[in-house]
Homo-oligomer: A and B are copies of this chain.
């Protein structure tokens, strides 16, 4: 979902810079703002009681995030952190709701965005829960490859640790599994760089 910049500005939104590593909001805090990224990358993740991290999603230019808790008035289930220097537009909840009210076609847009997120989570759930590390990694690589050309091997822009955080596996497991997948020709590894 994304709202044109001029509408956002008209309704009082302000753009703010976030340095790489800084936080936009924290798990368990209440939402007050609608967020939309102008440039950069924001990661949503939740932390378990043991301090382990699970990446819930990565968002980039033109995308908004964190709307469900905002609409529901419930506290955030995850933390938002800039993983690159980013510029993000912030708009107070009330004004966001005014925009929705004044531009009903945005309801539809947002609805499709949500539908798509639910769809992905449903597909992911099946993988999350039961499958082998290899299946988890394959699913991650498939759904997160930049271009959607099925054929060509392209470099994967994620570290082993990031793959681990997405899949819920440990780094060592990711590495060992990737080694096996390399043997099976499912992936290519050159100079520690991963291709899929």
Give residues in A with beta carbon < 8 Å to B: 46, 48, 50, 52, 54, 56, 67-69, 71-72, 74, 77-78, 100, 104, 107-108, 110-112, 114-119, 121-126, 128-131, 167-168
Flag if B48 contacts A126 (CB, 8 Å): yes
Looking at the complex, which one of B56, B71, B123 makes contact with A125 (CB distance below 8 Å)?
Answer: B56
Bound state CA distance, A112 and B67, in angstroms? 10
Chain B, residue nearest A74 (CB)? B119
Flag if B110 contacts A111 (CB, 8 Å): yes
Bound state CA distance, A114 and B121, in angstroms? 12
- Copies of this protein chain in the complex: 2
Flag if B108 contacts A77 (CB, 8 Å): no
Contact A56:B130 (CB < 8 A) given known A107-B108, A111-B71, A112-B71: no
Q: A167 CB to closest chain B CB, in angstroms?
A: 8
Contact A77:B119 (CB < 8 A) given known A114-B114, A125-B125: yes
Flag if A129 contacts B72 (CB, 8 Å): no
Q: A140 CB to closest chain B CB, in angstroms?
A: 12
Flag if A126 contacts B74 (CB, 8 Å): no
Flag if B78 contacts A122 (CB, 8 Å): yes
Q: A87 CB to closest chain B CB, in angstroms?
A: 25
Bound state CA distance, A121 and B125, in angstroms? 9
Contact A114:B111 (CB < 8 A) given known A129-B168, A131-B48: yes
Flag if B67 contacts A126 (CB, 8 Å): no
Q: A43 CB to closest chain B CB, in angstroms?
A: 14
Flag if A129 contacts B126 (CB, 8 Å): no
